[in-house]
């Protein structure tokens, strides 16, 4: 086979837009790599917004400080006999509660954001539909991190001495961050479904309070009436709390840790596709 | 395939509950032209555009952009169309530069490339000085320019402009028009909506007039205007009861009926030639009919509407196109 080199004279076309070439360049969907880039760009946007609106950090700063101290001194004596004995029970509980509060804010903020004009542009761009949802959630990892570390530090300041050591604590914080991120998909889904930010707030409260208080976060499940104990035992928050307790207090990777991770993975597997579908439909 | 249409939409339908916002609209936009969609608030202009831009699901009919099916291949359509919204769709919490960088990144440009494109666009749209200021300090015109710049990052072959100058002052409006004209010289096709006949007149090669979700006319701006006369003579009679007599005079002189307005003794006379205004005035004086005020005006959208639909643009039900 002979190759003949045909030199086409280069026609000086000054930035002339050629629709046929543009159509030929199009792709039918975002590749995995493109999706990742798009998600990170959206995460960058969320981080910028966080830096400009520090009041967003109010919940992750105040709640760990206030609730840890308040609950420890009020309930400590009644539930565990002393504040020091209560702290190993309480700290993981507060962690879970704080993580859920951050989750709730994720849903509310997404809803507020989606009502803005810029979301029209995001929808009109050829980007993966999951990017505008997943981006802010990646930025939120920082919020979960701050909230977890702050709770732990407050605990240490009022006398908590975790038996699990440094590694146990790191493990516990990591698990909390992962659990918070996973559960946030539920609230993100709510955010894409609800009509307004206020309704997201309302519904989220109704979900968050039973999930935290009807768990073993603040009291041992054995002290509850049988029917309630049954619910508390299947509540995923209970598993996360137990797992974090095992890590913090004993540095042990127990079956509870396994269940917590599996439970969170299931939540993501169910609610992430639901959220993306509901978001794509909204348009 | 030698199909030279940029947009080919047939029988587009959109329902919002019981309300049919778009009722079988056909649009054929040729490559390289500026096509205007003219109509009052709530006529279905924005809804039509949003369907074509994949921002709203199409409830009926068929639409193709450069031969790509809008309903079946939304991701491809999004790569071909740049959308500039009625309200600036840029991020209020970011600076102009950050906005452009983000949109460029989202469209697959590397960080460095995104930075240089953002710089170029800021310069081209005269926004360098304000580039790093918060958007809250931006005027309406600056926002629109940033919004338009954001749509041009990847040089899309088709650009949608939804009421690009609504709410802008006359000077800013003129600048926006110049910018829009430049886009076409780059080879882009433009589909714009507007409420203003003069905007369509200034910019568009062809215009579709939309009323209550239907297309009532499609033509060049010149042809549309001649349907209502090149200009209009607006008359007020001293005595409202003389209206019928005056109408008779006009009919005799121009062979056409004047359009009576709701106010007593007022009428608009379509003039094929502005010089005929004098004939009408002389005719009225000879008939002994007193005139309290007189002016010659270009036809307004309202008159085009009146001529095309038999009702004014203002009688529209104020159903703002739901988003």
CB atoms within 10 A of CB B283: 17
pLDDT for res B64: 95
Q: Is the distance from CB of B260 to CB of B266 less than 8 angstroms?
A: yes
Query: Are both B167 and B237 inside the same structural domain?
Result: no
Cβ-defined contact of B106 to A38 (cutoff 8 Å):
yes
User: Which of B202, B225, B248 is at the close of a domain?
Assistant: B225
> Would B307 be classed as within a structural domain?
no
The fraction of chain A above a pLDDT of 90, given in percent, is 44
A37 has a pLDDT exceeding 80: yes
With residue B145 as reference, give the H or E element that holds it: helix B140-151
Query: Are both B106 and B237 inside the same structural domain?
Result: no
Strongest mean pLDDT among A16-25, B7-16, B133-142, B174-183: B7-16
Cβ-defined contact of B54 to A29 (cutoff 8 Å):
no
B245 has a pLDDT exceeding 60: yes
Q: Is the distance from CB of B149 to CB of B124 less than 8 angstroms?
A: yes
Query: Are both B91 and B110 inside the same structural domain?
Result: yes
Query: Are both B143 and B251 inside the same structural domain?
Result: no
Reported confidence tier of residue A15, pLDDT bands at 50, 70, 90: low
CATH of the domain at B54: 3.40.50.300
> Domain containing B216: what range?
5-225
pLDDT for res A208: 86
B5 has a pLDDT exceeding 80: yes
Please report, for residues A94, A240, A252, B277, the alpha-carbon distance to residue A234 in angstroms, rounded to integers and kept in the order given.
Answer: 19, 11, 21, 87
B317 has a pLDDT exceeding 80: no
* Interface-testing mutation among A41, A109, A132, with chain B (most B C-beta atoms within 10 A): A41
Cβ-defined contact of B107 to A125 (cutoff 8 Å):
yes
B1 has a pLDDT exceeding 50: no
Tokens representing A62? Answer: 């105040």
pLDDT for res A222: 83
Query: Are both B166 and B40 inside the same structural domain?
Result: yes
Q: Does B68 touch chain A (CB under 8 A)?
A: yes
A283 has a pLDDT exceeding 60: no
Query: Are both B210 and B293 inside the same structural domain?
Result: no
Query: Are both B121 and B147 inside the same structural domain?
Result: yes
* Interface-testing mutation among B88, B93, B183, with chain A (most A C-beta atoms within 10 A): B93
Strongest mean pLDDT among A78-87, A269-278, B177-186, B232-241: A269-278
Question: Which of chain B's residues have a Cβ under 8 Å away from the Cβ of A23?
Answer: 66-68, 76, 80
Q: Is the distance from CB of B284 to CB of B249 less than 8 angstroms?
A: yes
A198 has a pLDDT exceeding 60: yes
Cβ-defined contact of B103 to A126 (cutoff 8 Å):
no
- Mean per-residue pLDDT over chain B, rounded: 86
Query: Are both B92 and B192 inside the same structural domain?
Result: yes
Q: Nearest C-alpha of chain A: how many angstroms from B36?
A: 20
Say if residue B227 is exposed, middle or buried (CB neighbours under 10 Å; 0-12, 13-18, 19+): middle
Q: Does A41 touch chain B (CB under 8 A)?
A: yes
Residue of chain B whose Cα is closest to the Cα of A53: B93
Q: Structural domain tally of chain B?
A: 2
For chain B, the first-to-last Cα distance in angstroms comes to 36
Reported confidence tier of residue A57, pLDDT bands at 50, 70, 90: confident
Whose tokens are 């702050």? That residue is: A150
Q: Nearest C-alpha of chain A: how many angstroms from B182?
A: 12
B300 has a pLDDT exceeding 80: no
Query: Are both B65 and B154 inside the same structural domain?
Result: yes
Name the DSSP letter for residue B136: G
- As a whole number, mean pLDDT of residues B286-294 equals 86
Cβ-defined contact of A23 to B186 (cutoff 8 Å):
no
Residue of chain A whose Cα is closest to the Cα of B64: A23
- As a whole number, mean pLDDT of residues B68-79 equals 94
User: Which of B203, B225, B247 is at the close of a domain?
Assistant: B225
Query: Are both B240 and B187 inside the same structural domain?
Result: no
With residue B266 as reference, give the H or E element that holds it: strand B266-271
Query: Are both B155 and B289 inside the same structural domain?
Result: no
Q: What is the DSSP track for chain A?
A: -PPP----------S---HHHHHHH--SS--HHHHHHHHHHHHHHHHHHHHH-GGGGHHHHHHHHHHHHHHHHHHHHHHHSSHHHHHHHHHHHHHHHHHHHHHHHHHHHHHHHHTSTHHHHHHHSS--TTHHHHHHHHHHHHHHHHHHHHHHHHHHHTT---TTHHHHHHHHHHHHHHHHHHHHHHHHHHHHHSSSHHHHHHHHHHHHHHHHHTTTSSS-GGGS-HHHHHHHHH-HHHHHHHHHHIIIII----HHHHHHHHHHHHHHHHHHHHHHHHHHHT-
ipTM above 0.90, yes or no: no
> Would B102 be classed as within a structural domain?
yes
């Amino acid at each position: 086979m002979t190759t003949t080199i045909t030199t086409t004279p280069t026609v000086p076309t000054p930035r002339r837009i050629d629709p046929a070439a543009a159509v030929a360049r199009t792709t039918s969907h975002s590749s995995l790599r493109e999706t990742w880039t798009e998600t990170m760009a959206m995460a960058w946007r969320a981080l910028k917004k966080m830096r400009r609106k520090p009041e967003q950090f109010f919940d992750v700063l105040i709640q760990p400080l206030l609730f840890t101290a308040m609950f420890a001194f009020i309930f400590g004596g009644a539930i565990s006999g002393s504040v020091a004995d209560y702290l190993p029970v309480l700290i993981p509980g507060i962690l879970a509660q704080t993580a859920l509060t951050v989750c709730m804010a994720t849903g509310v903020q997404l809803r507020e954001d989606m009502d803005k004009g810029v979301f029209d542009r995001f929808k009109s761009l050829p980007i993966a539909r999951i990017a505008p949802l997943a981006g802010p959630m990646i930025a939120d990892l920082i919020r979960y991190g701050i909230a977890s570390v702050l709770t732990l530090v407050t605990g240490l300041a009022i006398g908590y001495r975790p038996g699990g050591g440094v590694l146990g604590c790191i493990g516990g914080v990591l698990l909390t961050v992962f659990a918070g991120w996973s559960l946030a998909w539920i609230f993100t889904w709510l955010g894409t479904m609800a009509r307004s930010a206020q309704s997201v707030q309302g519904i989220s409260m109704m979900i968050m309070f039973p999930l935290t208080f009807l768990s073993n976060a603040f009291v041992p499940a054995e002290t509850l009436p049988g029917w309630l104990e049954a619910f508390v035992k299947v509540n995923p928050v209970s598993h996360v709390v137990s797992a974090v307790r095992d890590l913090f207090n004993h540095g042990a990777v127990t079956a509870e840790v396994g269940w917590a991770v599996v439970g969170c993975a299931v939540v993501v597997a169910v609610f992430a596709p639901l959220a993306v579908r509901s978001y794509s439909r909204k348009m | 395939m030698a199909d030279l249409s940029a947009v080919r939409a047939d029988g587009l339908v959109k329902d919002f509950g019981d309300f049919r916002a778009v009722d079988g609209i056909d649009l054929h936009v040729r490559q390289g032209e500026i096509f205007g969609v003219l109509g009052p608030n709530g006529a279905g202009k924005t809804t039509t555009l949003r369907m074509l831009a994949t921002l709203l699901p199409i409830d009926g009919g068929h639409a193709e952009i450069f031969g790509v099916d809008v309903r079946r291949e939304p991701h491809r359509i999004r790569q071909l169309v740049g959308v500039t919204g009625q309200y600036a769709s840029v991020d209020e919490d970011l600076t102009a530069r950050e906005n452009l960088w983000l949109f460029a990144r989202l469209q697959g440009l590397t960080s460095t490339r995104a930075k240089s494109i953002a710089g170029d666009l800021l310069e081209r749209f005269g926004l360098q000085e304000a580039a790093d200021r918060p958007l809250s300090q931006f005027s309406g015109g600056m926002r629109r320019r940033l919004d338009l710049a954001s749509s041009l990052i990847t040089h899309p072959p088709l650009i949608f402009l939804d009421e690009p100058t609504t709410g802008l002052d006359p000077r800013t409006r003129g600048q926006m028009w110049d910018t829009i004209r430049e886009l076409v010289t780059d080879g882009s096709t433009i589909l714009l909506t507007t409420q203003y006949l003069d905007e369509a007149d200034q910019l568009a090669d062809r215009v579709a007039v939309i009323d209550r979700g239907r297309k009532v006319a499609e033509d060049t701006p010149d042809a549309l205007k001649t349907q209502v006369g090149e200009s209009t003579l607006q008359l007020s009679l001293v005595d409202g009861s003389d209206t019928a007599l005056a109408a008779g005079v006009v009919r005799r002189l121009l062979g056409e009926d004047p359009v009576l307005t709701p106010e007593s003794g007022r009428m608009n006379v379509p003039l094929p030639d502005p010089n005929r205004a004098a004939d009408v005035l002389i005719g009225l004086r000879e008939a002994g009919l007193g005139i309290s005020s007189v002016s010659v005006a270009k036809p307004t959208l309202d008159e085009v509407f009146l001529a095309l639909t038999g009702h004014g643009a203002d009688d529209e039900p104020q159903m703002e196109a739901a988003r």
